[in-house]
Amino acid sequence: MKNIDSRGHVRGESIYLDDIPVQQGTLYGEVFDSPCANGIIRNIDYSKAAAFPGVFRILTSNDIPGENQIGGIIPDEPLFAETEVDFWGQPIALIIAESEEIAKEAKRLIKIDIEKRTPIVDPREARAKNSLIFPPRTFRIGDVKKAWNQCEHIIEGEADNEGQEHLYIETQGAYAYEIENGSIRISSSTQGPTAVQRTVAKVLGIGMHKIEVDVVRLGGGFGGKEDQATAWAVMAALGVHILKRPVKIVLHRLDDMRMTGKRHPYRSDFKIGLSKDLMILAYEATFHQNAGAAADLSPAVMERTLFHGTNSYFIPNAELTAYSCKTNLPPNTAFRGFGGPQGMFVIESAIAKAADILKVKAREIQEKNLLKDGDAFPYGQIAAQCLAGNAWNKASELYQVEKIEQEIDEFNKLNKHVKKGLAFQPICFGISFTNTRMNNARALVHVYHDGSVGISTGAVEMGQGVNTKMVQVAADIFSIAPDRIKLETTNTTRVANTSPSAASATADLNGKALHKACSAILERLKMQAARIHNAEASKIELKDNFVHLNGKQTETTWNQLIQAAFFDRISLSEVGHYATPEIHYDKSKEKGHPFAYHVFGTAIIIVTVDCIRGTYQFDSVKIVHDFGKSMNVSVDRGQIEGGVVQGIGWMTMEELMYNQEGKLISNALSTYKIPDIYSVPKEISIEHLETEGHDMAIQKSKAVGEPPLMYGLGAYFAIQNAVKAYNPNHELKFHAPFTPEKVLMGLYEGVGEKVKH
Ligand code: MOS
């Protein structure tokens, strides 16, 4: 089925937050934020700004009736800074005016006097100063201390990654207005409507029942609106609460880039031990997560770094420790992969370094150590329906790896100033929120008495196609045309207490809840049909708009059946609730079975490096991916293509930089480059792994949102191999992104010195 949004998107008719018509009397909010990363506020003079014509009010922490607190996991983040500021761009006040322009003008008139303190921007420095968000955690399997003795080779190193700007096309925003009696309706561009509802209620000091959050769709989220959409919605609601006028806030791109957190930069240490025949016997890693100034989702993100610290490999003795380091950057947050990519980059770096030192191909080490059924992850879950080897083997055969490698060798011999490099990138990604209790969802289904259907779930559409999948689920169960089904907006009044649309689990969780609701209605309809046809319900089927009896189509149409049920006063509405079975996790032991299942796959990435300029172009990304049984191939392929490109961008050109003062210097689209149509791989081939799918995946169609991003990790290592082909003196470094500047330095590092070896 085609994505139900495709027509609206192409015609520019799809509704985003900023397209929602505003009410008469709407006011506009502009955030006044900290001009330094760490300091004590001595004085703020709002008088000129407040007196500016058209300004209605300047809201600060003093105006908050409830708690000045928006921290989701740990209550450590004020909505508005009070006496000190902890990051550059931290909100201090909200100027509310009759237009955006006036609010912006007025902002310039605010005078702030801050006593600056030296910020911490580096996570290692934070750890040394014991500036941690919460205590460190360690995952263990086997006995790593003993295992070092058995290792033939032990290799140590560091692997660092920088952050990543989400760059959702639609910036953060919210629109709030009073309904009556103090109730507020908020349109929010959020992945987490319930988080917005809960936080607004807390800050305003009123019940959640007075807050209705509605989401039509997002113009991209990528994790950046899982938690960080909340602040703006809370500010708008606060304005409504105090001024009794509708308030709209939409961040300008530059404000959004400056004020919001990103993917977490990490600084990590590794030590890997291998046997003579390249089996990984021991692995130790220490991760320093740059959390920024408040927890936000960092505890959960850090957890996933640990869960994915051994990627797709079985390592019998491993010890992974992670520190969430508190620095003076904006609180870093969820970003597609959610800490997984950071963990996987370190093990891949360790393997690359080992391969370089041992003079073997990285792929030999990778292949030998792939997970198999029955292998344990460091967190205790046992690999089942493991497809790591299948994906790897299929990729090797289908794409004729030996032949490609030969061709690359030939090419590199023949070409002096252009070199090619190849890397394999296997992935293994656990599906479920790592916080077990979040793995539940609800759906509400109404069959209207004309036979059309309305469905609501907790899923937020952000371009990933979840709405299309939801329509498919209902259409399949009722066996009616998809255009008889309308997917309603995501609304906390229709579907309550939702988990955010995140963790790649949205279609699974909401789809299963929807499946339950539709199935319950279907059972009632079958009984109705049985009464009409004087038959047993078990002999009835609904197929292609008709009632079927004993496998044969009857004359009773879907519409007639619905009419009859309605006249017989049968309920045509249902709420479905789903909670993922079997999963559990014991944090005190760091063991359990946190994931419903894992998604596997292998990518082969080939790059061509221009050795004069240091620029590069990706020839191809050849993938074998475990879709399970994809319920929508075009939607799923779209997720893979987007994920791969986003992963490559993070590993190569997206250079997020803060200076020593904690100021974002890649603060605009002129200084922060993301992949465009010219820099995407020339070819992305995607092959399905034929499998049975997984029962805990919706319609056996495995989650596809985050896993493919990690194919992009291979981009780093492919470039590294090409650089090495040009300059054998190049000493491998592991500090993503591998920008053309770094490539150039690598190409000419030590040139003129004698070639080692
Ligand atoms: Mo997603 S990174 O789990 O919001």
Question: What atom of ligand 1 comes closest to residue 501's alpha carbon?
Answer: 4
Which strands make up the sheet holding 132-141, listed edge to edge?
132-141, 317-326, 280-292, 266-274, 153-161, 735-736
Q: How far apart are CA 63 and CA 80, in angstroms?
A: 10
Where residue 753 falls among pLDDT bands split at 50, 70, 90?
low
Residue whose C-alpha is closest to residue 686's, from 641, 635, 649, 642: 641
At how many degrees (to 10) do helices 558-567 and 506-533 cross? 80
CA of 460 to the centre of ligand 1 (A): 12
Output the six-digit token pair for 450: 């004309």
* CA–CA distances in Å: residue 64 to residues 30, 40, 93, 233, 456: 17, 21, 11, 14, 33
CA of 90 to the centre of ligand 1 (A): 22
CA of 560 to the centre of ligand 1 (A): 44
Distance of CA 89 to the CA centre of its chain: 23
Where residue 750 falls among pLDDT bands split at 50, 70, 90?
confident
pLDDT, tens only, 630-644:
999 999 999 999 999
Q: Is the pLDDT of residue 754 over 70?
A: no
Place of tokens 């009835």: 540
Indicate the helix (H) or strand (E) that contains 682: none
Q: How far apart are CA 260 and CA 190, in angstroms?
A: 14
Q: How far apart are CA 215 and CA 217, in angstroms?
A: 6
Output the six-digit token pair for 58: 């300047």
**Pairs from 541-546 (Cβ < 8 Å, separation ≥ 24):** 542/478, 542/479, 543/479, 544/479, 545/479, 545/480, 545/481
Which strands make up the sheet holding 540-543, listed edge to edge?
540-543, 546-549, 552-557
Would the CB of 334 count as within 6 Å of ligand 1? yes
CA of 746 to the centre of ligand 1 (A): 34
Q: How many residues does the chain have?
A: 757
Q: Is 706 a catalytic residue?
A: yes
Contact 168, 225 (CB under 8 A): yes
What's the angle, vertex CA 559, arms to CA 529 and CA 493, rounded to 5?
A: 100
CA of 71 to the centre of ligand 1 (A): 17
CA of 500 to the centre of ligand 1 (A): 8
Q: Is the pLDDT of residue 578 over 50?
A: yes
Q: Is the pLDDT of residue 596 over 50?
A: yes
Q: How far apart are CA 20 and CA 219, in angstroms?
A: 14
Would the CB of 227 count as within 6 Å of ligand 1? no
Residue nearest to atom 4 of ligand 1 (CA): 223
* Whole-number CA gyration radius for the chain: 27
Would the CB of 218 count as within 6 Å of ligand 1? no
Output the six-digit token pair for 126: 């934070």
At how many degrees (to 10) do helices 340-358 and 713-726 cross? 30
pLDDT, tens only, 26-62:
999 999 999 999 999 999 999 999 999 999 999 999 9
Q: Helix, strand or coil for residue 173?
A: strand
Output the six-digit token pair for 346: 């370190």
Output the six-digit token pair for 391: 């994906």
Output the six-digit token pair for 94: 């909200």
Question: What atom of ligand 1 comes closest to residue 224's alpha carbon?
Answer: 4
Would the CB of 462 count as within 6 Å of ligand 1? no
Q: Is the pLDDT of residue 756 over 60?
A: no
pLDDT, tens only, 617-673:
999 999 999 999 999 999 999 999 999 999 999 999 999 999 999 999 999 999 999
Q: State which of 189, 218, 226, 296 you would mutate to test the pocket of ligand 1, scoring each by most atoms of that ligand within 8 A of its C-beta.
A: 226
Place of tokens 């991003």: 709
Would the CB of 338 count as within 6 Å of ligand 1? yes
| Mean pLDDT of the residues in the chain | 97
CA of 41 to the centre of ligand 1 (A): 34
Residue whose C-alpha is closest to residue 756's, from 727, 726, 729, 722: 729
Q: What is the pLDDT of residue 427?
A: 98
Where residue 411 falls among pLDDT bands split at 50, 70, 90?
very high
Where residue 751 falls among pLDDT bands split at 50, 70, 90?
confident
Question: What atom of ligand 1 comes closest to residue 334's alpha carbon?
Answer: 2
Percent of the chain with pLDDT over 90: 98
- Which residues have C-beta within 8 Å of that of residue 399, sequence separation ≥ 6? 604, 622, 685
Q: State which of 260, 336, 438, 599 you would mutate to test the pocket of ligand 1, scoring each by most atoms of that ligand within 8 A of its C-beta.
A: 336
Indicate the helix (H) or strand (E) that contains 507: helix 506-533
Q: How far apart are CA 652 and CA 474, in angstroms?
A: 41
Q: What is the pLDDT of residue 757?
A: 46
Q: State which of 338, 431, 439, 466 you would mutate to test the pocket of ligand 1, scoring each by most atoms of that ligand within 8 A of its C-beta.
A: 338
Q: What is the pLDDT of residue 690?
A: 83
- Which residues have C-beta within 8 Å of that of residue 250, sequence separation ≥ 6? 17, 18, 100, 171, 172, 173
Q: Helix, strand or coil for residue 127?
A: helix
pLDDT, tens only, 90-147:
999 999 999 999 999 999 999 999 999 999 999 999 999 999 999 999 999 999 999 9
3-state secondary structure 549-614: ECCEEEEEEHHHHHHHHHHCCCCCEEEEEEECCCCEEECCCCEEECCCEEEEEEEEEEEEEECCCC
- Which amino acid, 530? A
Would the CB of 191 count as within 6 Å of ligand 1? yes
Residue whose C-alpha is closest to residue 335's, from 650, 623, 621: 650
Kindly give the residue spans of alpha helices, DSSP state H, lying in 285-387.
298-307, 340-358, 362-368
Percent of the chain with pLDDT over 70: 99
- How far apart, in Å, do the first and last CA atoms of the chain sit? 57
Where residue 86 falls among pLDDT bands split at 50, 70, 90?
very high
In the predicted model, what is the mean pLDDT of residues 203-207? 98
Would the CB of 646 count as within 6 Å of ligand 1? no
Q: How far apart are CA 574 and CA 565, in angstroms?
A: 14
Output the six-digit token pair for 539: 């002999």
pLDDT, tens only, 685-703:
999 998 989 999 999 999 9
Q: Could you give the count of Cα atoms lying within 13 Å of 486 in the half-sphere of its Cβ?
A: 10
In the predicted model, what is the mean pLDDT of residues 432-453? 98
Check 67, 402, 706, 749 and give the catalytic one. 706
Q: How far apart are CA 191 and CA 556, in angstroms?
A: 42
Instruction: Tell me: cis bond preceding 737? Omega within 30 of 0 counts.
Output: yes
At how many degrees (to 10) do helices 633-652 and 713-726 cross? 50
Would the CB of 336 count as within 6 Å of ligand 1? yes
Contact 31, 91 (CB under 8 A): yes
